[in-house]
C-alpha cells in the first residue's frame, strides 16, 4: 500500500495554489507523473544555466506530512496523524555531495548499522546539491534524526530542515540517484502504533512534536522533551521571549527592516547564549517577526546566524541587550555581586543514549550536567569488566563525583535516578543483608558457646559511607574483583564519619581512581587485614559547598583533581515548576534495561577517535594556559582529560545498549551479548559518533571550569605555601635561579613581570615589579633605554 504525500506542483496557473502556503495530498502515482514532466526538466536545466530565479517556481514536496488542514502548509494546520516518519537531509555544500552520497549508500547497505535499509530516496537538487530522504528511527524526532544522520555522513546539520512544515524542491526523474522499494510505502498499522507509542512515552505527540495541553492523544505533557519548545528555554529563569520583547521595546519592527533587525537580534543573542548557534536558531524560529519571514520567504535562519558571527562582537557591546535584561528582571553580567559560574549559560549536551536520556528527563534540563556527572560512576561500576585505553594505559572506568548545591537546589532529584541505576544490585544486596542478619542472630544465640558460626564473606557492592575505614576496606576486599559503589545524598556523612581519618579516605579514593593496590595491615589477630590487588570503588556524593571543603581539604595530594565536580544552578529566584520533573516508571524501566546489560560487557578497548579528541582538548587547554601563564588550569587538564574520556566511554556503552535493544529487543540484546561476548566492542567503535565526540568538549570544559571555580584559590595558596616545598630545597636558590638572572640582557617590563610570577607566584602585582625595577636602577644593576625597556649593566652581570 502506497502512502499519500503533501505536494505543490507550482504549475496550475491558479494563484491560490501556486504559492508556498499551499500543499495538497497526492498519491505516489501522481507524484511520479509530476517528476516525469518535460517542463520540470526544462526548469531545472534553466536554473543550472544561470537563471536561479526560476528555483522559486519549482514544485515541492512536504516530506514530513501527507496532509494539512485546508491544504494550508503551516504548523498551525498540521494533522499529526498524517506524519510520514520520514525526513529529508539537505547537503548544501558541493564539495561534500559525492562523499555524502557514497556514505549514504554504505549506511543503507550495512546490516549491522543503525541506518540499514533506511535510505528511501536520493536526488540531485536544482543546483546539483543532494537531497537524501530517510526513514526516521523509532522514537526519534525530526531534529534528532537529522542530527544523527548528518553526523554519520560527516556533513553540517542544517537547522532549517527540521521544521515540521518544511518543503523540499523537486527536480524530476532524471535527477534521481536512488529509490528504495519502500519509498512512500505505507507503514503497517502495527508499525504505526509502535512508533506513535514511542513518542507518547517521551511525552510527545504522535508526530514527535511537544503535546499541547488539550491534545487528544492522551494525558501527556510536553514538559519533558530533550529539546523543549523555546517557551521553556530560559536565561536565569526568564523566558527568552520575554527578553526579546523587552529588547524590541525601544524599536518598532517594520516590514522593511525585519531582516536587518533579525540579524542584529541574532548578534546580540550571542551575548546571553555563549555564542551557541544552535540555541540562537531555536530562539529565532519562535520569535514572531522572524517566523513571519520564514513562512513568507522560506528564509534561511542558519545563514542569518552565520552572518551574525561576522560581527566584531568584542567591540560591539550589546547595550540594548543589557538594558533588555535589566527591564526583564535578569541580573546583568556586569553587576559586581553576580556569580561568575552562573553568568555562563548552562552547557547543552547533544541527544544522549537510552538510560542517560531518561536520567536527564527525570530531573529536567537545568540539572543535565549534575545528573550526568552523578550517574557516570554508577555506569562505570556496572560496566566493571570494561577497560579503556587512555594515553596507552588500560584501566577500568573508575570515577568519583561530587554534586555541589545549596539546600533546596534540586540535588534530591538525583537520588531516585541513582536508585533506578542500582535497582538490580539493591535486590541482590537485600539477600546478602538477610544472610548477615541471620549470622548475627546465630552469634547472639551462641555467644556463650565455644563454637561460633563462621562470618560469611559476602560480595556486597553497594557500600554506605556511614562506616569505618576498617569495615569499608573489608567490604572492598570481598567484591570478587568487581567495582563497589557508594552514594550519599549528604556529603557531610563523609566529613563527620571520617573526620578523624579523612586522610585514609583520601588515600582510598585516590587509589580507587587509579585502580592500584591497597594494603591495610594490623597487628591484632582480631583486627582487619586487607590485601587488595586492584581497588575498585566508584563514589557519587551530593552536598553543599561548605561540605565539599570539609571532604576535600588537601589540595596538593591529587585528591581534588580526581573528583568530577558538578554544580546545580542557582534557583533562588526561579518560580516553582508548573509540572515538576519526576522519574516515571517508564523512565526507570528503560534505565534498568541498560543497567542490566552493562555487566555483560567484558574486555579491553581502544577508542582511537575518543583518544584523539582527548589529546586535542588537552593541547588546546595547554596553549590557552600558556598564553595566560595559568599553571593551575594547565595542571588540572591532565586528570580532567582522563576523567572525561572515562565518562564519555560510559555514555558510549549506553549507546551500545540502546542500539542493541532497538535492533534486537531487550531480551534479544541480552542473549546476543551472552552468545557473542565481543559484539559490544564492535558496536562501541561505531558509537564514536560525532555527536558523542562533541559531548567530550562540553563535559571536559564544564569539569575544568567547575573545578577551578571551587578550588583555584585554594590550590594556588597550597602550592605557594612554605609547608609544601621542602625547606632544604628552598635554601638552594642561587644567582642562576633569580628573576634577574633569567632575564635577557635587553628585556621589557612584561618579561620581568612574567619571570616574577613564575618564581614568586600568581599574586605578584605590576606595582611590585615596578618597585623591583626601580630598586635595580638605584643599585646600578640596570639602565632604562626607553619606555618599558631596560638593559643590564654588563659589569654587574659578570
pLDDT in tens, 609-657: 999 999 999 998 888 776 556 788 888 999 999 999 999 999 999 999 9
pLDDT at residue 727, as a whole number = 36
- The owner of cell 530565479 is 53
Q: Residue 289 pLDDT > 70, yes or no?
A: yes
Quick one: average pLDDT of 417-445?
87
pLDDT at residue 795, as a whole number = 47
Q: Residue 515 pLDDT > 90, yes or no?
A: no
Question: What is the pairing mode between strands 484-488 and 537-543?
Answer: parallel
Q: How confident is the model at residue 278 (pLDDT cuts 50, 70, 90)?
A: confident
Q: How confident is the model at residue 501 (pLDDT cuts 50, 70, 90)?
A: low
CA 794 to mean position of chain CA atoms: 58
**Rounded to 5, what percent of the chain is helix, strand, coil?**
50, 15, 35
Q: Which of 739, 724, 738 is nearest to 769 (CA)?
A: 739
Cβ 743 vs Cβ 752: under 8 Å: yes
Q: Read off the C-alpha cell for 434.
A: 538477610
pLDDT at residue 629, as a whole number = 63
Q: Give strand pairing partners of 89.
A: 132
Q: Residue 329 pLDDT > 80, yes or no?
A: no
Q: Read off the C-alpha cell for 538.
A: 566508584
Q: Residue 203 pLDDT > 80, yes or no?
A: yes
23-39: pLDDT as tens digits: 999 999 999 999 999 99
Integer Cα distance of 303 and 284 in angstroms: 12
Integer Cα distance of 747 and 695 in angstroms: 44
Which residues fall within 8 angstroms of residue 532, CB to CB, at 6 or more apart? 473, 476, 477, 517, 518, 519
* Residue 524 phi, psi dihedral angles, 5° rounding: -70, 140
Calculate ∠ Cα 720-706-499, nearest 5°.
Answer: 65
**Residue 656: CB atoms within 10 Å:** 26
Integer Cα distance of 480 and 476 in angstroms: 9
Integer Cα distance of 47 and 54 in angstroms: 6
Share of the chain above pLDDT 90, in %: 36
- Dihedral Cα 158, 162, 167, 170, nearest 10 deg: 50
Q: Which of 691, 695, 649 is nearest to 145 (CA)?
A: 691
Q: Give strand pairing partners of 7.
A: 24, 61
Exposed, middle or buried: residue 236 (CB in 10 Å: 0-12, 13-18, 19+)?
buried
Q: Residue 341 pLDDT > 90, yes or no?
A: no
Quick one: average pLDDT of 550-576?
85
Quick one: average pLDDT of 437-465?
78
- Dihedral Cα 381, 385, 391, 393, nearest 10 deg: 110
Collapsing DSSP states into helix, strand and coil, what is residue 149? helix
Collapsing DSSP states into helix, strand and coil, what is residue 487? strand
Collapsing DSSP states into helix, strand and coil, what is residue 390? strand
Integer Cα distance of 568 and 570 in angstroms: 7
Q: Which of 640, 461, 464 is nearest to 536 (CA)?
A: 461
Q: Which of 143, 146, 153, 129 is nearest to 47 (CA)?
A: 129
pLDDT at residue 603, as a whole number = 95
* Residue 441 phi, psi dihedral angles, 5° rounding: -65, -40
Integer Cα distance of 377 and 488 in angstroms: 13
The one-character DSSP state at 59 is: -
Using alpha carbons only, how large is the chain's radius of gyration in Å? 31
* Residue 46 phi, psi dihedral angles, 5° rounding: -65, -40
Altogether, the residues listed in the chain come to a count of 798
Calculate ∠ Cα 537-541-545, nearest 5°.
Answer: 140
Higher pLDDT: 343 or 581? It is: 581
Task: Report which listed range, 133-142, 297-306, 510-519, 523-532, is most confident.
Answer: 133-142
- The owner of cell 529565532 is 284
* Residue 136 phi, psi dihedral angles, 5° rounding: -75, 125
Quick one: average pLDDT of 592-600?
96
351-405: pLDDT as tens digits: 899 999 999 989 988 899 999 999 999 999 999 999 999 999 999 999 999 999 9
Q: Residue 726 pLDDT > 60, yes or no?
A: no
pLDDT at residue 364, as a whole number = 87
Which residues fall within 8 angstroms of residue 344, CB to CB, at 6 or more apart? 274, 705
Q: How confident is the model at residue 682 (pLDDT cuts 50, 70, 90)?
A: very high
For the chain, the first-to-last Cα distance in angstroms comes to 95
Quick one: average pLDDT of 170-178?
92
pLDDT at residue 180, as a whole number = 93
* Residue 650 phi, psi dihedral angles, 5° rounding: -60, -45
Q: Residue 520 pLDDT > 80, yes or no?
A: no
pLDDT at residue 729, as a whole number = 39
Higher pLDDT: 230 or 375? It is: 375
Q: Residue 176 pLDDT > 90, yes or no?
A: yes
Integer Cα distance of 533 and 477 in angstroms: 9
pLDDT at residue 583, as a whole number = 92
Q: Read off the C-alpha cell for 275.
A: 555564542
391-415: pLDDT as tens digits: 999 999 999 999 999 888 889 999 9
Integer Cα distance of 638 and 619 in angstroms: 10
Integer Cα distance of 729 and 723 in angstroms: 12
Q: Residue 676 pLDDT > 60, yes or no?
A: yes
Higher pLDDT: 38 or 766? It is: 38
pLDDT at residue 270, as a whole number = 77
Which residues fall within 8 angstroms of residue 156, CB to CB, at 6 or more apart? 93, 150
The one-character DSSP state at 575 is: P
Own/partner long-range contacts of 44-52 (Cβ < 8 Å, ≥24 apart): 44/126, 44/171, 44/172, 44/174, 44/175, 47/126, 47/127, 48/126, 48/127, 48/128, 52/127
What is each CA distance from 410 to 179, 369, 379, 699, in whole angstroms?
Answer: 51, 13, 22, 20
Question: What is the pairing mode between strands 5-8 and 119-124?
Answer: unpaired
> Which range (61-70, 234-243, 532-541) has the least confidence?
234-243
pLDDT at residue 378, as a whole number = 97
Q: Which of 365, 371, 413, 348 is nearest to 564 (CA)?
A: 371
pLDDT at residue 732, as a whole number = 36
Q: Which of 272, 271, 293, 290 is nearest to 281 (CA)?
A: 290
Which residues fall within 8 angstroms of residue 8, CB to CB, at 6 or more apart? 17, 18, 19, 20, 22, 23, 24, 59, 60, 73, 167
- The angle that helices 288-297 and 277-285 make with each other, rounded to 10 degrees, is 80
98-151: pLDDT as tens digits: 989 999 999 999 887 889 999 999 999 998 899 999 999 999 999 899 999 998
Q: Residue 530 pLDDT > 50, yes or no?
A: yes
pTM equals 0.55
**Residue 506: CB atoms within 10 Å:** 20
The one-character DSSP state at 721 is: S
**In whole numbers, what is the pLDDT of the chain averaged over residues?**
81
> Which range (12-21, 343-352, 708-717) has the least confidence?
343-352
pLDDT at residue 456, as a whole number = 75
Share of the chain above pLDDT 70, in %: 83
Q: Residue 736 pLDDT > 60, yes or no?
A: no
Cβ 538 vs Cβ 398: under 8 Å: yes
Q: Residue 314 pLDDT > 50, yes or no?
A: no
What is each CA distance from 178 to 44, 66, 495, in whole angstroms?
Answer: 18, 22, 65
pLDDT at residue 184, as a whole number = 92
Residue 789: its H or E element: strand 789-792
Q: Residue 524 pLDDT > 50, yes or no?
A: no
Q: Residue 219 pLDDT > 70, yes or no?
A: no
Q: How confident is the model at residue 671 (pLDDT cuts 50, 70, 90)?
A: very high
Integer Cα distance of 222 and 646 in angstroms: 33
User: Across the chain, which distance is largest between two alpha carbons, in Å?
Assistant: 105
Residue 234: its H or E element: strand 234-235
H helix runs in 344-422, sequence order = 356-363, 368-382, 414-421
Cβ 375 vs Cβ 492: under 8 Å: no
Task: Report which listed range, 178-182, 329-333, 737-741, is most confident.
Answer: 178-182
Integer Cα distance of 412 and 409 in angstroms: 8
pLDDT at residue 210, as a whole number = 82
Q: How confident is the model at residue 575 (pLDDT cuts 50, 70, 90)?
A: confident
What is each CA distance from 437 to 230, 463, 467, 625, in whole angstroms?
Answer: 54, 16, 17, 56
Q: Count of H helices and E strands in the chain?
A: 30, 22
Q: How confident is the model at residue 254 (pLDDT cuts 50, 70, 90)?
A: very low
Higher pLDDT: 280 or 726? It is: 280
Amino acid at each position: 500500500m502506497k502512502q499519500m504525500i503533501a505536494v505543490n506542483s507550482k504549475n496550475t496557473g491558479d494563484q491560490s495554489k501556486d504559492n508556498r502556503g499551499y500543499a495538497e495530498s497526492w498519491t505516489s502515482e501522481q507524484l511520479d507523473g509530476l517528476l516525469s514532466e518535460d517542463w520540470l526538466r526544462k526548469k531545472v536545466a534553466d536554473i543550472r544555466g544561470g537563471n536561479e530565479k526560476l528555483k522559486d517556481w519549482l514544485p515541492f514536496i512536504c516530506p514530513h506530512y501527507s496532509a494539512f488542514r485546508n491544504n494550508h502548509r503551516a504548523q498551525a494546520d498540521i494533522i499529526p496523524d498524517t506524519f510520514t516518519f520520514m525526513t529529508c537531509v539537505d547537503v548544501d555544500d558541493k564539495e561534500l555531495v559525492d562523499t555524502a552520497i557514497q556514505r549514504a549508500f554504505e549506511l543503507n547497505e550495512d546490516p549491522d548499522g543503525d541506518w540499514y535499509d533506511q535510505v528511501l530516496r536520493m536526488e540531485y537538487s536544482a543546483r546539483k546539491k543532494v537531497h537524501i530522504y530517510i526513514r526516521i528511527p523509532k522514537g526519534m524526532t525530526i531534529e534528532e534524526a537529522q542530527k544523527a544522520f548528518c553526523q554519520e555522513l560527516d556533513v553540517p546539520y542544517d537547522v532549517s530542515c527540521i521544521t515540521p512544515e518544511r518543503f523540499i524542491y523537486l527536480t524530476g526523474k532524471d535527477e534521481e540517484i536512488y529509490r528504495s522499494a519502500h519509498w512512500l510505502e505505507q507503514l503497517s498499522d502495527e508499525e504505526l502504533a509502535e512508533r506513535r507509542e514511542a513518542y507518547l512515552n517521551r511525552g510527545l505527540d504522535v508526530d514527535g512534536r511537544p503535546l499541547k495541553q488539550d491534545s487528544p492523544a492522551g494525558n501527556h505533557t510536553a514538559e519533558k522533551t530533550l529539546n523543549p519548545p523555546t517557551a521553556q528555554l530560559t536565561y536565569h529563569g526568564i523566558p527568552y521571549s520575554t527578553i526579546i520583547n523587552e529588547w524590541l521595546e525601544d524599536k518598532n519592527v517594520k516590514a522593511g527592516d525585519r531582516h536587518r533587525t533579525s540579524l542584529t537580534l541574532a548578534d546580540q543573542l550571542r551575548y546571553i547564549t555563549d555564542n551557541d548557534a544552535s540555541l540562537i536558531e531555536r530562539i529565532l524560529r519562535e520569535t514572531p517577526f522572524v517566523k513571519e519571514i520564514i513562512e513568507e520567504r522560506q528564509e534561511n535562519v542558519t545563514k542569518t546566524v552565520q552572518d551574525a558571527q561576522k560581527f566584531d562582537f568584542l567591540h560591539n557591546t550589546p547595550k540594548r541587550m543589557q538594558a533588555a535584561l535589566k527591564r526583564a528582571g535578569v541580573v546583568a553580567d556586569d553587576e559586581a555581586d553576580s556569580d561568575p559560574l552562573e553568568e555562563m549559560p548552562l552547557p547543552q549536551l547533544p541527544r544522549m543514549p537510552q538510560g542517560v536520556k531518561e536520567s536527564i528527563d527525570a530531573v529536567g534540563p537545568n540539572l543535565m550536567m549534575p545528573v550526568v556527572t552523578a550517574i557516570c560512576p554508577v555506569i562505570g561500576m556496572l560496566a566493571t569488566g570494561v577497560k579503556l585505553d587512555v594515553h596507552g594505559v588500560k584501566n577500568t572506568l573508575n570515577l568519583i563525583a561530587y554534586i555541589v548545591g545549596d539546600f533546596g537546589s534540586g540535588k534530591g532529584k538525583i537520588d531516585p535516578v541513582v536508585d533506578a541505576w542500582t535497582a538490580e544490585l539493591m535486590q541482590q544486596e537485600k539477600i546478602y543483608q538477610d544472610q548477615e542478619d541471620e549470622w548475627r542472630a546465630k552469634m547472639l544465640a551462641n555467644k556463650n558457646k565455644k563454637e561460633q558460626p563462621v562470618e560469611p564473606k559476602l560480595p556486597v557492592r553497594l557500600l554506605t559511607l556511614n562506616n569505618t575505614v576498617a569495615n569499608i576496606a573489608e567490604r572492598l576486599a570481598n567484591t570478587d574483583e568487581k567495582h563497589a559503589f557508594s552514594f550519599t545524598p549528604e556529603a557531610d556523612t563523609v566529613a563527620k564519619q571520617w573526620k578523624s581519618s579523612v586522610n585514609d579516605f583520601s588515600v582510598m579514593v585516590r587509589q580507587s581512581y587509579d585502580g592500584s593496590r591497597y594494603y591495610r595491615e594490623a597487628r591484632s589477630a582480631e583486627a582487619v587485614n586487607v590485601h587488595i590487588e586492584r581497588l575498585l570503588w566508584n563514589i557519587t556524593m551530593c552536598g553543599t559547598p561548605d561540605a565539599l571543603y570539609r571532604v576535600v581539604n588537601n589540595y596538593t595530594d591529587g585528591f581534588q583533581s580526581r573528583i568530577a565536580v558538578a554544580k546545580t544552578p542557582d534557583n533562588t529566584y526561579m518560580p516553582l515548576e508548573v509540572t515538576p520533573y519526576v522519574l516515571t516508571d517508564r523512565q526507570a524501566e528503560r534505565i534498568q534495561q541498560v543497567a542490566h546489560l552493562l555487566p555483560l560487557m567484558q574486555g579491553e578497548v581502544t577508542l582511537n577517535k575518543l583518544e584523539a579528541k582527548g589529546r586535542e582538548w588537552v593541547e588546546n587547554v595547554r596553549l590557552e594556559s600558556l598564553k595566560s601563564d595559568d599553571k593551575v588550569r594547565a595542571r588540572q587538564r591532565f586528570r580532567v582529560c582522563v576523567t572525561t574520556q572515562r565518562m564519555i566511554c560510559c555514555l558510549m556503552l549506553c549507546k551500545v545498549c540502546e542500539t542493541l535493544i532497538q535492533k534486537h529487543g531487550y531480551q534479544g540484546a541480552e542473549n546476543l551479548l551472552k552468545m557473542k561476548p565481543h559484539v559490544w566492542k564492535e558496536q562501541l567503535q561505531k558509537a564514536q559518533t560525532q555527536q558523542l565526540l562533541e559531548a567530550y568538549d562540553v563535559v571536559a570544559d564544564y569539569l575544568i571550569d567547575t573545578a577551578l571555580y571551587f578550588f583555584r584559590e585554594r590550590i594556588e595558596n597550597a602550592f605557594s605555601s612554605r609547608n609544601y616545598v621542602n625547606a632544604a630545597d628552598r635554601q638552594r636558590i642561587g644567582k642562576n635561579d633569580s628573576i634577574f638572572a633569567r632575564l635577557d640582557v635587553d628585556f621589557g617590563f612584561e618579561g620581568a613581570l612574567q619571570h616574577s610570577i613564575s618564581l614568586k607566584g600568581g599574586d605578584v602585582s605590576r606595582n611590585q615589579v615596578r618597585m623591583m625595577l626601580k630598586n635595580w636602577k638605584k643599585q646600578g644593576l640596570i639602565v632604562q633605554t626607553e619606555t618599558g625597556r631596560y638593559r643590564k649593566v654588563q659589569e654587574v652581570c659578570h
